[in-house]
Amino acid sequence: MRTAAPLLEVRDLVREYPLPRPSLFAPRPVLRAVRGVSLTLAAGSSLGIVGESGCGKSTLARCVMGLERPQGGQVLIDGEDIYALSRAGLRRARVKFQAVFQDPYGSLDPRHDVRRILLEPLASLQPETGRAEHASRIAEALEAVGLPAEAAGRYPHEFSGGQRQRIAMARALITRPALIVADEPVSALDVSIQAQVLNLMMDLQERLGLSYLFISHDLGVVRAITDRVAVMQAGKIVEEGPTGEVFAHPRHAYTRRLIESAPKPFSGRRRRARAAQEAPA
């Protein structure tokens, strides 16, 4: 038993996308979305990834979720390299890690009712569960995210944005995973609803011992929910450390610029780009 192995370890991950050739015989240029990222996430804790759009956060998330084979590096979950597994092996491993995505409107199939949405990962990844167990697991998942049992018979369009994110969370929880990869899970929600969903995620983490890889462009949100944070810029991690530490004493210039640019109440009228001293973008 490797007791010391972290729940998630990413080693030197590289993910490139081929771009269209500029001319017929030119070599195909590549876009290096993730350029050598290494991370570890201990069981029961949460790691935030912050950075601006296009810096490679979602690409990293898709690689961690076993959805896109990286060109280099490894993703180890419970010490197991998921890209070295067979198809069947990867399927078995998926029980342990599930995902929540940003868009509360695009992440649930409008044609499926909630029961069918929740059943999909359960029936696919744990086919040994029977009909009776399906019903109880669906009830359990809905309860965990604070939705009534009747919600199972309704369709996504009947729910508000915050409730849809709860459904997405229930879908992620139904296989009883250890790791949840959440890519901008609250970015599309209003502040008051965002707070409800973040609190729910914290409750669930404590109750179920979950680990989160929590991706967001919003520093405030990351600060509220993570133990450690990694700051990503142009496909690389430029700074990583305990969340409180990084926000209080940012070491990298880019981290400082991000923190300085973020609007804050109570700061009074000010010019912030000047304060952050940066070139026009």
Ligand X SMILES: Nc1ncnc2c1ncn2[C@@H]1O[C@H](COP(=O)(O)OP(=O)(O)O)[C@@H](O)[C@H]1O
Identify residues 21-60 at the interface with ligand X (CB under 6 A). Answer: 31, 33, 51, 53-59
Least distance (Å) from ligand X to the CB of residue 239?
16
Least distance (Å) from Mg ion to the CB of residue 262?
18
Least distance (Å) from another protein to the CB of residue 272?
4
Least distance (Å) from ligand X to the CB of residue 172?
19
Q: Tell me if residue 271 falls in helix, strand or coil.
A: coil
CB 95 within 8 A of CB 175: yes
Q: In the window 54-93, what residues touch ligand X (CB under 6 A)?
A: 54-59
Q: Which two tokens stand for residue 46?
A: 């949460």
Nearer to ligand X, 20 or 148 (CB): 20
| Binds 56: which of Mg ion, ligand X, another protein, none (CB < 5-8 Å by kind) | ligand X
Asked if 107 interacts with Mg ion (CB under 5 A), we say: no
Measured CA to CA, the distance from residue 38 to residue 271 in angstroms comes to 36
Nearer to ligand X, 59 or 255 (CB): 59
Asked if 226 interacts with ligand X (CB under 6 A), we say: no
Residue 27 DSSP label: P
Least distance (Å) from ligand X to the CB of residue 224?
20
For 103, residues 6+ apart whose C-beta sits below 8 A from its C-beta are 188
Residue 14 DSSP label: E
Q: Tell me if residue 138 falls in helix, strand or coil.
A: helix
Residue 73 DSSP label: E
Asked if 17 interacts with ligand X (CB under 6 A), we say: yes
Buried b (16+ CB within 10 A) or exposed e, 49-61: bbbeeebbbbbbb
Asked if 58 interacts with Mg ion (CB under 5 A), we say: yes
**Among 34, 36, 35, 47, residue whose Cα is nearest residue 8:** 47
Using CB under 5 A, list all residues that contact Mg ion.
58
Using CB under 6 A, list all residues that contact ligand X.
17, 31, 33, 51, 53-59
